[in-house]
Amino acid sequence: MTAETIADRKAEVWARLQTVTDPELDEPVTDLEFVTRADVDAENRVHIEFRLPTYWCAANFSFLMADDMRMAVKELPWVSAVNVTLGEHMYADKINAGLAQGLSFQETFGVEADGDLDDLRRTFLVKAFQRRQAALLAYLIAAGYPAAALVELTLGQLTAVKFDEAGGKLLARYLERRPVVAGVAETLAFIDADGDPLQTETLPTYVRALRRVDVNAEFNSALCRGLLHARFDTATPLTPRRAGQSAELPKVSA
């Protein structure tokens, strides 16, 4: 394989990884700088290494992200195998062994788990839906749409709205998560997490409640980014750590 092909394939891998999000933060694992390595070898095997903001990050989210990365990259037709390795984590050995053998979360953790991660994944997909909906609703309200119109807006009408660039992004992000709660036959553009229509009178309260989900997620994102930075980054000088100890790891670029 030529160097050029490898470079192209690496780029394809990074593009696939870009679609994988931290379920809690609803942001791509690449943007979060979790992924430190994505290489393709001569046998078309992909080797991915990632790290997290703390040694203690929840095992379930860690496993979910690793599993999602593996599945996302496997979709590339030329890939023969995907190895995902988590570094410097309390469950690194266990998770890496599970991943290497293609085990499920339940199989990896045995008695410590009483099921797989479907419910957890669902909980955070709903939260992501709520955040994305809140952002789009806030945008439309600010643009002058009255509550009565928003609660009755159909999906067709929503997608026909002429958005500016920022609004277009919000719409795309919302539409990506709308199917989490909306069935295929649902015609209303906006429904709540239970799939019920929104009400004109309570729309402001509803948007405010969703805002809480958003504030929480933004807060967590700021914390996680900051902790990752404090743990690994070398770009900003920190207070010197233990004399003679090099806490510095090579800066990786995503």
Decide if residue 59 touches other proteins (CB under 8 A): yes
Q: Which of 41, 93, 196, 218 binds other proteins (CB under 8 A)?
A: 218
Cα–Cα dist 97/69, whole Å: 16
Cα–Cα dist 66/86, whole Å: 8
- CA torsion 151-156-159-163 (nearest 10°) is -60
Decide if residue 78 touches other proteins (CB under 8 A): no
| Cβ-contact 30, 254 below 8 angstroms | yes
* Binding span for other proteins by CB under 8 A among 32-40, 43-51, 102-110, 172-180: 102-110
Q: How large is the C-alpha radius of gyration of the chain?
A: 21
Q: Which helix (H) or strand (E) holds 37?
A: strand 35-40
DSSP calls for 74-95? HTSTT--EEEEEE-S-TTHHHH
Q: Which of 33, 46, 84, 109 binds other proteins (CB under 8 A)?
A: 109
* Binding span for other proteins by CB under 8 A among 9-17, 58-66, 79-87, 161-169: 58-66
Decide if residue 208 touches other proteins (CB under 8 A): yes
Decide if residue 146 touches other proteins (CB under 8 A): no
Scan residues 5-34 and list those touching other proteins (CB under 8 A): 24
Of 138, 136, 144, 149, whose CA–CA distance to 177 is shortest? 136
Decide if residue 37 touches other proteins (CB under 8 A): no
Footprint of other proteins (CB under 8 A): 24, 53-60, 90, 105-106, 109, 112-117, 119-120, 123, 127, 208, 212-213, 215-216, 218-220, 222-223, 226-227, 229-231, 238-243
